[in-house]
Structure 1
Amino acid sequence: MRQAGLLERRPTYYLVRIAVNAALVTAGWTIFVLVGDSWWQLVTAAYLAAVFTQSGFLGHDAGHRQIFRSRRANHLVGLVYGNLAIGLAFGWWVDKHHRHHAHPNTEGRDPDIAGEALAFTGAQARRRRGAGRLPARHQRLLFCPMLLLEGVALHVASVRALSRSTYRERGREALLLGSHAAAYLTVVFVVLSPLRALAFVVVQQGLFGLYLGCAFAPNHKGMPILGADEEVDFLRRQILTSPRGVQILADAGYQGLGTDTGGAVITPRPKPRKRQTSPPPSVIAAHEASRKRHSPSASGSSTPSDTSRTDESPAATTAAASPSTCRPPSPSRSALRFSANNSRSLRPSA
C-alpha cells in the first residue's frame, strides 16, 4: 500500500476541503441570521447538521495525522474542528479512537463496543438489569432513534472527560469547548424565540448524531467480535474484524473519511493513481471463514435479543447481534482495493 502511494499525505487536497468547509459553515450561519425567527430554520438546522458532521470528519483525519506531517499542525486542526467547531473534546476522542484501532471489535479492549448503549454480545445483554434490558432486547428497532442522541452523548462525554484533573491540555480544550457552546447557544437564542430555538437545537443536534452514527456504525455491525484473550496476529485483527470492502461512501455523503481499512485511513486518490486490483482470494476467503466461524449460528452464542439463554461460546461472538437497520448501503466486493504490486505481500499465511 505504501509503494502504491495509498498512505501518502495530500495537504493540498485537505487545504481545499478546509476552505470549502469554512465557506459552508459561514454560509450556513449567514443564512441562519438572514432568515431570522422562522420555522424555516429547521431546514437550516438540517443543513448545519451535515456541515457539522463534515467538520467532524476533518477532525477525524487530523486525529489520524494524515493531513500534515507535523504532529502539532494536525493537533491544532483537530482542536479547531473538534472542540471549537462541533463541541467535541479532541484529546479524549483521539485516545478512545486509537484504542479502538489498536484492538478493533475486541471485547474488553475496544471502547466502541463497551456495551454502554448497545449490546454487542449476548453476555453484555444478560448483564443488563431492570429497564436496561428493554433497549437490548429491541435495539434493532431502537437503533435509529438512539443515534439521534449520539451528538448529545458526545458532548456529555467530552465535558466529563474535561472535568478530570489529569486531562492533558485541559485548560485550552475546555476554553475552546466552552467558546463553542457559548457562541452556539447565544446565536440561536438571540435570533430565535425560545420555542423555535429549542426545536432548532433538537433537530440540528439529532441529525448531527444520526449522520455521525451512520458513518461509523458499519465498522461494527455484522463484524466478528474477538475475545480479549484471543491470539490473533496484527493483519488478521485489522482486516478480519473490519468490513471487507470498506470505502465508506467516500465519494458521496461520507467524504472526508477517505477509506478506512481497519486502522489505516487512506485519502481518496486522484484518478491517475487508481490502477489497482481486488483483494487476493485468500484474504476474501479468510474474511468469510472468520465471519462464519464467529456467527451466532456457528458458535451457538445468543444474541442481545435472546437474553434468556445462558450458553455462549468462549470463542469470539459476532457483532451481527448489533442492529442492522438504518445502515448505509453495503459496500461492494471491489470497494476495498489493494495495490496490484502489494497484494501478494498482504496474503495471510495459512
Structure 2
Amino acid sequence: MDSISESKPVCYDIFNGDADGICALHQLRMAFPQEAIEVTGVKRDIALLEKIQVRAGDHLTVLDISLDTNVDALRRHLDAGAFVTYFDHHEAKSAFQHPRLEMHWSAARDVCTSILVSRFLEDRYVMWAIVAAFGDNLIHTANGMCMQQGLTWVDRGQLQELGKLLNYNAYGEQLSDLHVHPAELYREVHRFANPFDFIRSSPHFLALQFAYAEELTYLNDLHPVEVRKQSIIYILPDASWSRRISGLLANKLHEEQREFSFAVLTPKTTGGYVVSVRSAHPEAKPASEFCSSFPQGGGRQLAAGINHLEVAEVEQFFRRFFEYFEDI
C-alpha cells in the first residue's frame, strides 16, 4: 500500500473465493479491464469488507458475498466517500439505497452472482456463468443455459466438472486447507477467455481434478449419524479433507436424494463445527431461514450454512433441524 499515491483512488476487487465469485469477477474484468487490489478468502470467509480501509474516491467491486454480513463495513466505506458496485444473490434483508452504491441483486432460486453479471454484460461471457451455475449446484438452470448455447452433453459435462472443481477448491477453514489460493486461481482463470481452453491447458485444472478424485474416495466410508423421514444429518471426521469436501458432499447428497434435506457438520480446528444445509423444499422450507436463526448463519433458499456452531449447541441444532425440515 505504501507505493500507492495518496491522491490516486484505489480500486478493490472483493470476491468470494468459490466458483461463483471467481467467474463473476473474471467476466467483469474481461469486459472492463482494471488494475485492482484483490480481496478474497475461503468460501466461508465472507466478512471481506472488514478487511480494508478506504478513502474518498476509492472504488469497490463486491461479488458474491452477503450484504447482511457486511452491512456495517459497507456503510462505513460509503460514508468515507467510496463508490461501490455490488453483485450478489444471497438474502439481503439489510439492503439500502445510497447515491454511491450500485446494487445488482436477486435472491431468485435460479440465479447466482455470475448469472447476474452475465445479464449485466448481455451474456458476452455466458460460458463462465454456466460454469458458476454448475458450481453453485444450479443444475437445472445451467443445463437450460447449455441448451440455449447449443452445447453437447460432453461440453456440459466438462463445464459442470470445472464448476465443481472451482467450488471444491474454496472449501476449507483457512487458506492453508485449500489446494490453490483463490486469488491465484482467479488469476489463472483470467488467462482464458474460454473455459474449454482452461480445461485443456491449465495445470490447475488437472491438479484439482486429481485431488478431488482422491478425496472423493474417503466418502465411501461415511454414514449419516441420524436419518428421519425427510431429513438426514452427517458429521464428518476432524481432517483437512473433510473441510475441503464438506460443501460438495452436501451438493452431492442433494443431487442424489432430492427428497431429503441434509445437514453436514464439519469439525473446526479451533473447536465447534461449520455447517452446510441443503433444503429439499426451498420455497416452503428455505435453508436460509433455518440457518439465519443461528448467530453465524445465512445463505440462500436451497443452500445455506452456519459458519460456527458450538459443540454445546449440537444437540439443540439436531432438534431444531428435524423440527424444521420434518414439518412439511
**With structure 1 as the length reference, what TM-score do the two structures score?**
0.28
Q: Which has the higher contact order (CA 8 A, sep 6+)?
A: 1
**With structure 2 as the length reference, what TM-score do the two structures score?**
0.29
Q: Answer 1 or 2: which has greater strand percent.
A: 2
